[in-house]
A and B are shown apart, each in its own frame.
Chain A
Amino acid sequence: MEAFRILDAIACPLPLSGIDTDQLIPARFMKRSRADGYGDYLLHDLRFDESGQPKPDFPLNASRWAGARVLVTRRNFGSGSSREAAVYALVDYGFACVIAPSFGDIFASNAVNNGLLPATVSEEDCEALLAGLEDGDGTARVDLEACEIRAANLVIPFRVDPVWRTKLLNGWDDIDLTLSHAATIEAFQAKDSSARPWLVPSVRAS
């Protein structure tokens, strides 16, 4: 995974609250292999009308926000379904950071596992940022070292779990780290199987 330190990019304001993962990627699009990319499905039913034409008033369709890598949105972003495809859609579209006052817990950990930064800001700062991007040049600098966003004339602090921050800064993958604990896991299982003999389902019913 690519390390995330400082990102200078177009930051698209999306002033909606509660964008759930069903909006990020509707269920009917989840059969595709990841290798084929999910970017064209991102926010599909909000972005396109019934005939598949881009809705002109939806921010992502405006030429001004083309190439955006930062998304700024309102509270409870990524609530709902655990579908990691919601993160694939954002990442494959080109986003590397989402800024919001709160995130769905599962979405946020999925994001970090794919190198996408979920940056939490206060409601007030979020509103200021949404307005500042509309009125200013529409770009932002997201500094993960300093946990700070600079856009228009604003300097806004953001929060991210320190463990996630370290992981993103280094581009770490959990699996390699965990496999380095193989002996400890083995020992745990040996001890546990005598403490909880009922753990393994006993009937291999057909």
Chain B
Amino acid sequence: MVHSAASGPRTLFDKVFDQHVVTAREDGQCLLFIDRHLLHEGSFHAFDKLKARGARIARPDLTFGIEDHYVPTRTRDLGAIDPAIAKMIRQLRDNTAAHGLRLFDLNDPAQGIVHVVGPEQGLTLPGLTIVCGDSHTATHGAFGAIAFGIGASEVAHVLMTQTLWQKKPKRMRIRVEGQLALGVFAKDMALSIIAAIGADGAAGHAIEYAGSAVRALSMEGRLTLCNLSIEAGGRCGMIAPDETTFAYIKDRPYAPVGDEFQRSVDNWMALAGDPDAVFDREVVLDAAEIAPIVTWGISPEDAAPITANAPDPDRMSDPARAAHVREALDYMGIRAGQPLTEIAVDRVFIGSCTNSRIEDLRAAAAVLAGRKARVPGLVSPGSALVKRQAEEEGLHRIFMEAGLEWVDAGCSMCVGMNGDLVPPAERCASTTNRNFRGRQGPGSRTHLMSPAMAAAAAVTGHLTDMRPLLAGREIGLTGDR
């Protein structure tokens, strides 16, 4: 290797990073080799750049296209939707076809959200470098990969060279120790972390999640946790691969098979950080103290336990924070000090790369079974395969009997690009990742929460502590708790 890796104990991040350094400059910039490049409809700017240079894709065998951001969820017929949106999808088809790329299109039995499909297909593996023009690419770090979102210029750079210039970020470890209480999920863990360190708390850092509560999470839970790294400002978040990881990967369509799988596992086992590796920053949370969380404001850091009240800006000492809180409460239409459980919602959305996997749907269904929703809602599974599995388990009937709409896979109402929008001034209980102003549609108001909490909000019509509703019911987690 050209790069001389720093001697001494190394973190998981260091080991994966070092292995991908093609060349290192004196100023600290490293040219990193990229193992997986995932494209979606938004990648057209990068293809335009390629065209302008008359360039070809360096490694089409490591490059995959997935239709997700703009796809309709109530039909798969492009002729039946807004032509401007259909054009975005056709553009990706044309661009991927012109370069001979594998595309998971709308009609593919494995289509879905890029961050659900990658793991599901075995494209996401430990120790890889994975990039995508989407900030939630950190999701794939759940496998012990370095995975991060990039902009269009960087997408073009990877297409042309299969590399990216990166400077090693600082390393941050977030340990969550102990056991999560019943009805507390990875989403609550992630929002608690963000509330504790701030929406820019991990800026400039690569996060490693560790501790017994993280180890106890299923792959689905780990994916949710890593997914929200960017909402804490971290471009990537990762978890050391272990038996849970390997069991998930085995027999996935693109995963190594037979002896090669075993050799891979041996290799992946060695990726875990050295015990005495040093982090630039460490944060420790007690799992037992984490409660079901909802957001009340316009940044993911504006989060609190469901049992709390909205904050009062007049009682804050930091004027900049008070100004933000005032603005957030004003946008959200919430009174200072209002109990969060008093907040009525207009609709619910269960889906997105954060919370649309089978366990998420099971948790929501556990709350909804035999109950009616008081407000309309959309349930969009993360992929066609998740949809099929949910239907085999009968979950779709629970959603539909509750009065919710059961639709196809896509980014859907998380970002509204396909036209699945929350109307102006309406309030949505959402399992997504961003409660930004207008994120789910102009003037929309978003409260982030776990799927079980969103299901409970649907049942009661307001933000609700779902734990009593869950009492005595099976949640259907495959994780060890």
Contact with B along A10-25 (1 / 0, CB 8 A): 0000011110101100
**Residue in A50, A84, A102, A127 whose beta carbon sits within 8 Å of that of B45 in the complex:** A84
Q: A17-B324, A30-B417, A106-B235 are in contact. Are A163 and B22 (CB under 8 A)?
A: no
Q: Note all chain B residues with C-beta closer than 8 A to A102.
A: 200, 203
User: Is A83 a contact of B264 with CB atoms below 8 Å?
Assistant: no
Instruction: Verify if A75 is at the interface (C-beta below 8 Å from B).
Output: yes
Residues of A within 8 A of B121 (CB): 205
Q: Does any Cβ of B come within 8 Å of A122's Cβ?
A: no
| A198-B268 Cα distance, complex, nearest whole Å | 12
Min C-beta distance of B332 to chain A, whole Å: 14
Would you call A34 and B149 a contact (CB within 8 A)? no
**Is B33 part of the contact surface with A, judged by Cβ < 8 Å?**
yes
Selected interface stretch from B4-12, B150-158, B183-191, B271-279: B150-158
B35 neighbours in A (Cβ, 8 Å): 199
User: B439 touching A22 by the CB < 8 A rule?
Assistant: yes
- B263 contacts which chain A residues (CB < 8 A)? 198
The smallest C-beta distance from A201 to any residue of chain B, in angstroms, reads 4
Contact string against B for A residues 181-206, beta-carbon threshold 8 Å, 1 for contact and 0 otherwise: 10011001100100011111111110
- Choose the segment among B172-180, B249-257, B395-403, B449-457 that binds chain A (4+ C-beta atoms closer than 8 Å): B249-257
B358 touches A (CB below 8 Å): no
Minimum CB distance partner of A103 in chain B:
B203
CB distance from B328 to the nearest CB of A (A): 9
Tell whether A22 pairs with B165 under 8 Å between CB atoms, given A82-B149, A201-B254, A205-B254: no
Q: Pick the contact of B157: A74, A87, A178 (CB < 8 A).
A: A178
B165 and A31: CB pair below 8 A? no
Is B239 interfacial (CB 8 A cutoff)? no
Nearest-CB distance from A73 to chain B (Å)? 12
Q: Given A26-B442, A83-B42, is A18 in contact with B417 using a C-beta cutoff of 8 Å?
A: no
Q: Is the CB of A105 within 8 A of B434?
A: no
B247 at the interface (CB under 8 A from A): no
A80 touches B254 (CB 8 A): no
B31 pairs with A113, CB closer than 8 A: no
B160 nearest CB across to chain A (Å): 6
Whether the pair A28, B152 counts as a contact (CB closer than 8 A) is: no
Quick check: A181 and B22 within 8 Å, CB to CB? yes
Chain A contact-residue range equals: 35 or more
Chain B residues with Cβ below 8 Å from A170 are none
Which residue of chain B lies nearest to A79 when distances are taken between CB atoms in the complex? B199
* A28 adjacent to B320 (CB under 8 Å): no
Q: Which residues of B276-325 are within 8 A (CB) of A? A: 298-299, 320, 323-324
Q: Is A146 an interface residue (CB 8 A)?
A: no
Q: Choose among A80, A163, A198 the residue that contacts B434 (Cβ–Cβ < 8 A).
A: A80
In the bound complex, do residue B161 and residue A184 qualify as a contact, i.e. CB atoms below 8 Å apart?
no
Distance of A138 from chain B, by nearest CB (Å)? 22
| B197 → chain A closest CB, angstroms | 12
A2, CB-defined interface residue at 8 Å: no
A75 to B437 alpha-carbon distance, docked (Å): 17
- State whether A106 touches B48 (Cβ < 8 A): no
Residue of A at shortest CB range from B155? A84
A201 to B123, CA, bound (A): 7
A92 at the interface (CB under 8 A from B): no
C-alpha spacing A174/B148, complex, angstroms: 18
Over the window 151-177 of chain A, the binary record of Cβ atoms lying under 8 Å from chain B Cβ atoms (1 yes, 0 no) is: 000000000011100100000001101
| A27 contacts chain B at the CB level, 8 A cutoff | yes
List residues of chain A with CB within 8 A of the CB of B391: none
Q: Using Cβ atoms and an 8 Å threshold, which residues of chain A touch B33?
A: 185, 188-189, 192
Shortest 4 CB-CB contacts between residues of A and residues of B: A110-B151, A113-B153, A84-B151, A82-B149
Q: List 16 A-B contacts (CB under 8 A).
A: A26-B438, A50-B424, A75-B200, A76-B198, A81-B135, A82-B151, A83-B42, A105-B234, A110-B152, A110-B154, A174-B157, A175-B156, A185-B163, A198-B125, A202-B256, A205-B254
Given contacts A185-B33, A202-B254, 6 further A-B contacts (CB under 8 A): A20-B299, A31-B85, A31-B87, A31-B88, A81-B415, A106-B135
| A residues lining the B interface (CB < 8 Å) | 15-18, 20, 22-23, 26-28, 30-31, 33-34, 45, 50, 74-76, 79-85, 87, 102-106, 109-110, 113-114, 123, 127, 161-163, 166, 174-175, 177-179, 181, 184-185, 188-189, 192, 196-205
